[in-house]
Structure 1
Amino acid sequence: MSDQDDPRPFPDPAQLPEVPPDTLGLDAEEMRRLGHKVVDMVVDRAMARGQEPAIRTGDAADLRDRLGGPLPEAPGDPDAALELMAEVALAHQQHGDHPRYFARVPGPAAFAAILGEWMGTGFNTICASWGGASGPATVELVALGWLSEMLGLPAGTEGVLLSGGSMGNLTGFAVARAEMGPGVAYLTDQTHASLPRNLRALGFAGDEIARLPADARWRMSAETLRAAISRDRAAGRRPMMVVATAGATNTGAVDPLPEIADICASEGLWLHVDGAYGAPAAITEEGRAALAGLDRADSLALDPHKWLFQPYDLGVCLVTRPGALERSFAIHPEYLRDVREGAGEVNFGDRSLELSRRSRALKLWMSLRTYGAARFRQAVRDGIACAETAEAMLRAAPETWEVVTPAQLGIVCFAGRGADAAAHEAAARALAESGYACVTTTSLGGRSVLRLCTINPLTTEDDLRGTLDRLAAALAAPPAG
């Protein structure tokens, strides 16, 4: 019987011969008991995540004292270690799945995705070559295909799963440079801070990174872009790539993708879109309209561990030019020949700088199989509507708040009437220290603002109202001391 005909993926443990104990193992019953304990701890925490602090930061010396100590030389108690991990290490962090964690971009992980992550870890899964991981590679190809279809990207789009937006964007930049050659990359002062760093790491010189001022809506200006390209050509520089943003971290703003795509087409430039958090909005009709032109990108980065509800970490680089990923990254050493026998099959180690890579696709595949795309669309719609609700609450109290940027793709920025940066920062800090909620401050055109990112499907109107009420009270309180 071939392995394809065998109905069992692995033998019945009762039929296995006795083997010597594993030096780094546990007996089967102990593994089951501890595994069940971990599941119980995770589920118990998930059911109570609205009651825990949205963020908790510990004292460095205290944490080191409680979690460290001398190197353990003899075996210890795994139950005690698990409890210490949960009660100390994992309690002192930001909880991005908390319904009132509005800072940065939350990561509310779906439980079915967690199951997929556990399976991959438990099976010690690798996804580098077809010969060594044909099953996981197929799961990744399927998940990438489903994701591309949901986003409305063209047929033939290829991709690779990575750790997050930083690596997704870096991978897209590397492909652009390999395909197009050296030249100038254009971005704005609202581009995520990791992207200029990526360009520098890839060897882009200072005059090859053109940082343009955003327009009054915090977007890339097509006119400013055209002028910069013309100016660089006149100075003897070679324009090569435009880096557009689909959902700016500060404001949720989307660059005018159709106009930018037209410029790239007429000028012969590569269009890369950073959609790390915002691109998943394109799975909805409302988001597709806001992100019109996304399908014209040559490369796109996004993070399913943000608005597609996956556990950390999971980023994606998608490239609409077939074969470009492999042309940029494929290697053919003699010691990998035996795992490359599948002619025409995909070796994911040839699609990025990662060769040893775990199977990040299992969680995305598992959650799409479990919930279906329609429930993902509804969850994204809820996040968009939640920010609009927050904006309405802010506008209903003009004596207290000023809306600085309207709700866009789940983000709204606002300011307290008469409040300066110090007041905003103190209010945000007091809110975080209370444990009730967490928001961030940022700066727009030199002005301090508060910011909400509302992409958690568990967030309610009461959560929003309670957060804004507490911020208002903190701003109204007299300064300490």
Structure 2
Amino acid sequence: MSSAPLASGPQGPDALRPLLDTVLDALRDGRRARGGPLPAGGPDTVTARLRDALDEVLPDEGDPDALYTVVRALAEGSADPADPLCTAHLHGPPLAVATAADLAASALNPSLDSWDQAPAASALEALVTRALAQEVGLADALVTTGGTEANQLALLLAREAHGGGTQLVCGANAHHSLPRAAWLLGLPAPVVVPAPSGRLDPTALDEALTGLRRPLLVAATAGTTDAGLIDPLPEIAGLCGAHGARLHIDAAYGGGLVFSDRHRDRLAGLDRAHTVTLDLHKLGWQPVAAGLLAVRHPRDLAALAQRADYLNADDDTEAGLPDLLGRSLRTTRRPDILKVAVTLKTLGRSGLGALVDQVCSSARQFAALVRSRPGLELCDRSWPPDISTVLFRPVGATDDAVAAVRRQLLTDGEAVLGRARLDGRLWLKATFLNPGTRPADLAALLHLVEGNTPR
């Protein structure tokens, strides 16, 4: 009998069950050893601890305890997005049900580049992606590794539809992946429109579009990475219509607001876009990766069509086997849609909406708490928060002091705060994605900042 049993097949579940206990024990023990949201000591300490645990990467003889040892070391040295004091990034804590579903995806190991490798997974992806696209008012969607790949695909589809001279126009607040995608695709250098308030300025956009030659692609943002701000989407969509420009909306962060009856109106205008980036490992609480690109016109996807006889031979396609190769730039592709499907079915719109409402409420409570502290300053753009990000800083602190406070908290393993530069100043950034965060956690985070600020 093999000493390395497989995860699938008749014996797969029995082989996995004891290993799952080992993993869960290692996760628990590593978390206890870490003690907080981040391992203390900084990069050198973390690297040394992991090197000691790993010892030899490829020993001559295998170690039967390696699963426990390495997973425990990783857990001890990880930033924990489920810790309420871990608020630096759009790095959300995954739901248990989504993580369990992801295990099934790993065990079954379908590859979504041909139907004969993923019969059920390909059908599931078609059903769920179209349902999610319709949720934002569009027709179809592709699964991506996240917002960066989705934005790149959006520019690629625009280029193929309108030509290599397509001009990207985006705000100074746009995600860095957009100008990089223009560079990768050989498009002209983007025209960057001012965003003095942290949101794209419609007047400046109108002026820019008036002086440019078509074809034009405008990229708006629904949830900026730095401050969580939403561009004025209806005005931007109207300007695109008036100037004959194609519209892409990067809603990697804010797209999850569609699940909330209370907050979805902040995305008015989303359904007027040609393409929309979504990212459910943010306000969807999925394990990485769970990105999508929704499209208005499915015909645009014809640009991705590819032929490889061993994957989508013409006679197989004509006989009715689905052609999956044109659904991505990748070939081998895991069924990331499974965890999304399980989450949508388990929680429903109301359950997901409640999670969205909770994190938005936490951000508003935190912003109010900052305003009540005389030693802290709230960024004007954070009152009230558009989504769940709040920018703040100690009153009278220099930018160097703000950066030092953040690094000290990281080194001590006490809190994980981000940083953002807006209005010419450096701010501490707290992004709330943990629905379990409580008022006492918000106060504790501010207490740590105040306690580490030089007097």
* Corresponding position of 1:305: 281
**Aligned with 1:187 (options 156, 163, 170):** 170
Equivalent-residue separation in structure 1 for 2:230 and 2:15 (angstroms): 52
TM-score normalised according to structure 1 size: 0.86
Equivalent-residue separation in structure 1 for 2:80 and 2:195 (angstroms): 32
**Aligned with 1:72 (options 52, 55, 59):** 59
What does the per-residue CA deviation read over 1:300-343, in whole Å, with 9 as the maximum and x for residues that have no partner?
11211111000011111111112212x11111232324594376
Equivalent-residue separation in structure 2 for 1:384 and 1:424 (angstroms): 25
- Whether 1:109 aligns to 2:94 is yes
**Could you list the runs of 5+ residues in structure 2 that have no partner in the other structure?**
none
What does the per-residue CA deviation read over 1:408-442, in whole Å, with 9 as the maximum and x for residues that have no partner?
20011122110111111121122223333211122
TM-aligned CA deviation for residue 187 of structure 1: 0.8
Residue pairs, 1:103-142, within 5 angstroms: 103-142=88-127
Equivalent-residue separation in structure 2 for 1:205 and 1:454 (angstroms): 37
TM-aligned CA deviation for residue 404 of structure 1: 3.3
Q: Residues 29 and 72 of structure 2 are in contact (CA less than 8 Å); yes or no, is this contact kept in structure 1? A: no
Residue pairs, 1:246-257, within 5 angstroms: 246-257=222-233
RMSD over aligned Cα atoms: 2.4
Q: Tell me the amino acid that sits aligned with residue 112 of structure 2.
A: C
What does the per-residue CA deviation read over 1:96-147, in whole Å, with 9 as the maximum and x for residues that have no partner?
2222211021211001101111001001121222343221011112222332
Q: Residues 307 and 313 of structure 2 are in contact (CA less than 8 Å); yes or no, is this contact kept in structure 1? A: no
User: What secondary structure sits across from 2:392 in the alignment?
Assistant: strand
Equivalent-residue separation in structure 1 for 2:29 and 2:124 (angstroms): 29
Residue pairs, 1:48-447, within 5 angstroms: 52-56=35-39, 57-59=42-44, 60=47, 63-69=50-56, 71-77=58-64, 80-149=65-134, 151-154=135-138, 157-182=139-164, 183-206=166-189, 209-215=190-196, 217-233=197-213, 238-325=214-301, 327-337=302-312, 340-341=316-317, 346-406=322-382, 407-447=385-425
Mark the CA change 1:146 to 1:98 in structure 2 (over 3 Å): closer, same or farther.
farther
Q: Residues 23 and 68 of structure 2 are in contact (CA less than 8 Å); yes or no, is this contact kept in structure 1? A: no
User: What secondary structure sits across from 2:180 in the alignment?
Assistant: helix
Equivalent-residue separation in structure 2 for 1:45 and 1:308 (angstroms): 27
**Could you list the runs of 5+ residues in structure 1 that have no partner in the other structure?**
1-20
Equivalent-residue separation in structure 1 for 2:406 and 2:322 (angstroms): 47
Q: Residues 167 and 217 of structure 2 are in contact (CA less than 8 Å); yes or no, is this contact kept in structure 1? A: yes
Equivalent-residue separation in structure 2 for 1:50 and 1:231 (angstroms): 60
**Aligned with 2:5 (options 25, 28, 31):** 25
4+ aligned runs moved over 4 Å, structure 1: 26-31, 39-42, 48-51, 342-346
Q: Residues 278 and 409 of structure 1 are in contact (CA less than 8 Å); yes or no, is this contact kept in structure 2? A: yes
Count of matched residue pairs: 442
Equivalent-residue separation in structure 2 for 1:420 and 1:269 (angstroms): 42
Q: Residues 223 and 387 of structure 2 are in contact (CA less than 8 Å); yes or no, is this contact kept in structure 1? A: yes
User: What secondary structure sits across from 2:249 in the alignment?
Assistant: strand
TM-score normalised according to structure 2 size: 0.90
Equivalent-residue separation in structure 1 for 2:25 and 2:318 (angstroms): 42
Equivalent-residue separation in structure 2 for 1:314 and 1:380 (angstroms): 17
Equivalent-residue separation in structure 1 for 2:303 and 2:83 (angstroms): 40
Equivalent-residue separation in structure 2 for 1:336 and 1:51 (angstroms): 46
Q: Residues 50 and 98 of structure 1 are in contact (CA less than 8 Å); yes or no, is this contact kept in structure 2? A: no
Q: Tell me the amino acid that sits aligned with residue 411 of structure 2.
A: E
